[in-house]
Copies of this chain bind each other. A is one copy, B any other.
């Protein structure tokens, strides 16, 4: 089950009470003790359900966090596209894949989730999502020389987040109306340098 289908089916009547109880418990536990120390078991206990039900509804702990943050896309889609790209077009591929999701129908909800995270929400959870779910495998891929991966992915994320804000939240021209090709040509080289270039 993807996070997307999980999120949507949660609004059907019937099992929605249980699903919401699990999501509420997850948000509280993640915020209280952090992603690593919040076990599925402890979240299930707090929600008054069996741990197997948490797995059944949400899959992995990463997918549970994605659902708890109301993020509509399964980050694996982005991650797999990025991991499959050849080194020399990595920056451009990242820009195309990420902007493609934001511009798609589910992008509206993704932008809304991101705005609410920034506006009032839980920066610790957003940080965990970014590092433990969205960027983890990419970090390993670009960890060359060893030890630079964490810095590379966070620098790339900073540029992508800035494009998201200017294009989808503030809607500043000309970024708001650029085609994906135009954005990839302008911002791709930045992301490429962060992920694979020489850093000081």
Contact = CB atoms under 8 A, between A and B. Distances in A.
Contacts of A123: 169-171
Interface string A88-116: 00000000000000000000000000011
Given A115-B119, A190-B190, A161 B154 contact: no
Contacts of A158: 159, 162-163, 165-167, 175, 187
A175 B155 contact: yes
A114 to B, nearest CB: 9
A154 to B, nearest CB: 5
How many copies altogether?
2
**Main secondary structure on chain A at its contact with chain B?**
helix
A174 interface: yes
A165 to B, nearest CB: 5
A165 B159 CA distance: 10
A108 to B, nearest CB: 14
A53 interface: no
Given A158-B163, A162-B163, 16 more contacts: A118-B165, A123-B170, A127-B171, A131-B172, A154-B166, A154-B175, A155-B186, A155-B187, A157-B162, A157-B172, A158-B187, A160-B162, A161-B161, A161-B162, A162-B165, A186-B199
A169 B187 CA distance: 22
A49 interface: no
A36 interface: no
Contacts of A161: 161-162, 165-166
Most buried by B among A116, A165, A169: A165
Contacts of A154: 166, 172-175
10 contacts: A116-B119, A119-B120, A126-B170, A130-B170, A131-B172, A150-B173, A154-B172, A154-B175, A155-B175, A189-B193
Interface residues of A, number: 41
